[in-house]
């Protein structure tokens, strides 16, 4: 059970949905609820806040965008039995979509969220209208994945200050300017009773991630089964997804479209949200167009800070 507390100033979730196994999933939404539904799934170790700017842009473009914290992340519940498997994440996605009404969503998934989306659609466990995969393909580079795991496993006893948290993030993303606004880190950590800051995810999450030799065949099979509009977006400097991995995916799913975002790493939407947002909205405008103006009388709802 998560006994650590949220830091002051952390945005409260706008919605709580019940996922599989009774897990409560925290989410935000943008746009008019009657507009075409777009569900945004973050990567491992991230939260719904990773999609804040993208969600707002989608809402302004006429879509109803929803982002939620995966189980064991952010403001969502930790799983009592530590089940953070791919299947559990897919079941949670199905619960959220069902709670939002019987309609075919667009799925936009980054990394872990992309794998969840790919499995949900490729194994016919969810009917979607379009899919956007963000820096995720069946074959991922072992060195890049290892670097992520090393980052997530560091400082198991926590950090003594937000400065230390900022330093850790800066070491992982040396190409990005180190944040000076430490208040913005409140969404990334929780404060324990011992006064130390720890990441917002359940440490057992990493133990449930499958090995590449079983993960690759499953995701490859799912990619070969895709028959809906699909866009793959890769960060040009990503060390997780290589051009070789991209080419394999394009062979498995030949009807898919591909965009390479220069000067962006694995966290494409965060590194170059402007470019990513334009690419996603342009793709959706062609594949899942908005029927007409969908404007809430008070503007897009649920825009989080």
| CB atoms closer than 10 angstroms to residue 244 | 11
**Pairing state between β 130-134 and 230-235:** parallel
Ranges 1-15, 41-55, 111-125, 144-158: which has the least confidence: 1-15
Per-residue pLDDT, 292: 59
Per-residue pLDDT, 174: 65
- Cβ contact 203:156 at 8 Å: yes
Which tokens hold the place of 140? 């991922």
Per-residue pLDDT, 49: 92
> What dihedral angle (degrees, nearest 10) is formed by the CA atoms of 79, 138, 54, 5?
20
Per-residue pLDDT, 210: 64
pLDDT class of 40 with cuts at 50, 70, 90 = very high
Query: Which of 39 and 189 is assigned the larger pLDDT?
Result: 39
| CB atoms closer than 10 angstroms to residue 56 | 20
Query: Which of 237 and 263 is assigned the larger pLDDT?
Result: 237
| Residue 108, beta-bridge partner list | 40, 132
Q: What is the mean pLDDT of the segment spanning 54-81? A: 96
Query: Which of 49 and 266 is assigned the larger pLDDT?
Result: 49
Q: What is the mean pLDDT of the segment spanning 179-196? A: 82
Ranges 27-41, 59-73, 170-184: which has the least confidence: 170-184
Residue 197 CB burial class (10 angstroms; 0-12, 13-18, ≥19): buried
pLDDT class of 303 with cuts at 50, 70, 90 = very low
pLDDT class of 85 with cuts at 50, 70, 90 = very high
Query: Which of 292 and 67 is assigned the larger pLDDT?
Result: 67
Per-residue pLDDT, 93: 98
Which tokens hold the place of 297? 């009388």
Per-residue pLDDT, 208: 75
Q: What is the 3-state secondary structure (H, E, C) of the chain?
A: CCCCEECCCCCCCCEEEECHHHCEEEEEEECCCCCCEEEEECCCCCCHHHHHHHHHHHHHCCCEEEEECCCCCCCCCCCCCCCCCHHHHHHHHHHHHHHCCCCCCEEEEECHHHHHHHHHHHCCCCCCCEEEEECCCCCCCHHHHHHHHHHHHCCCCCECCHHHHHHHHHHHCCCCCCCCCHHHHHHCEEECCCCCEEECCCHHHHHHCCCHHHHHHHHHHHHHCCCCCEEEEEECCCCCCCHHHHHHHHHHCCCCEEEEECCCCCCHHHHCHHHHHHHHHHHHHHHCCCCCCCCCCCCCCCCCC
- Per the prediction, the chain carries an average pLDDT of 87
Per-residue pLDDT, 1: 54
Per-residue pLDDT, 151: 85
Q: What is the mean pLDDT of the segment spanning 201-225? A: 87
Q: Which domains does the chain have, with CATH numbers?
A: 5-145+209-287 (3.40.50.1820)
Q: What is the mean pLDDT of the segment spanning 297-304? A: 31
Which tokens hold the place of 149? 């795991």
- Cβ contact 107:128 at 8 Å: yes
Ranges 33-47, 134-148, 166-180, 239-253: which has the least confidence: 166-180
Per-residue pLDDT, 254: 97
Question: Is residue 293 scored above 60 in pLDDT?
Answer: no
What is the distance between the alpha carbons of residues 218 and 181, in angstroms, rounded to a whole number?
41
pLDDT class of 302 with cuts at 50, 70, 90 = very low
Which tokens hold the place of 66? 């929803």
pTM of the model: 0.89
Q: What is the mean pLDDT of the segment spanning 72-95? A: 95
Q: What is the mean pLDDT of the segment spanning 114-141? A: 96
Query: Which of 58 and 238 is assigned the larger pLDDT?
Result: 58
């Amino acid at each position: 059970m998560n006994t650590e507390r949220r830091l002051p100033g952390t945005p409260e979730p706008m919605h709580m949905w019940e996922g599989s196994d009774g897990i409560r999933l925290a989410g935000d939404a943008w746009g008019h609820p009657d507009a075409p539904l777009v569900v945004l799934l973050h990567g491992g170790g991230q939260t719904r806040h990773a999609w804040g700017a993208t969600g707002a842009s989608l809402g302004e473009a006429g879509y109803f965008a929803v982002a939620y914290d995966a189980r064991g992340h952010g403001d969502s519940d930790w799983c009592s039995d530590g089940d953070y498997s791919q299947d559990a994440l897919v079941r949670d996605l199905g619960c959220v979509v069902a709670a939002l009404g019987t309609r075919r969503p667009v799925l936009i998934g980054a990394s872990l969220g992309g794998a969840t989306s790919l499995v949900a659609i490729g194994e016919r466990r969810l009917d979607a209208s379009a899919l956007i995969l963000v820096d995720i393909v069946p074959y991922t580079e072992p060195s890049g994945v290892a670097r992520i795991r090393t980052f997530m496993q560091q400082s198991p006893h926590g950090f003594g200050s937000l400065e230390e948290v900022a330093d850790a993030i800066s070491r992982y993303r040396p190409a990005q300017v180190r944040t000076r606004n430490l208040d913005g880190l409140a969404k990334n950590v929780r404060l324990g009773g011992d006064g130390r800051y720890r990441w917002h995810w359940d440490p057992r999450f990493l133990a449930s991630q499958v090995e590449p030799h079983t993960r690759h065949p499953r995701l490859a099979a799912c990619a070969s089964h895709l028959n809906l509009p699909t866009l793959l977006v890769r960060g040009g400097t990503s060390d997780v997804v290589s051009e070789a991995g991209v080419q394999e995916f394009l062979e498995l799913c030949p009807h898919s479209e591909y965009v390479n975002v220069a000067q962006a790493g694995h966290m494409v939407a965060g590194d170059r949200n402007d470019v990513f947002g334009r690419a996603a909205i342009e793709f959706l405008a062609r594949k899942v167009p908005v029927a007409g103006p969908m404007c809430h009388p008070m503007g897009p709802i649920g825009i989080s800070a």
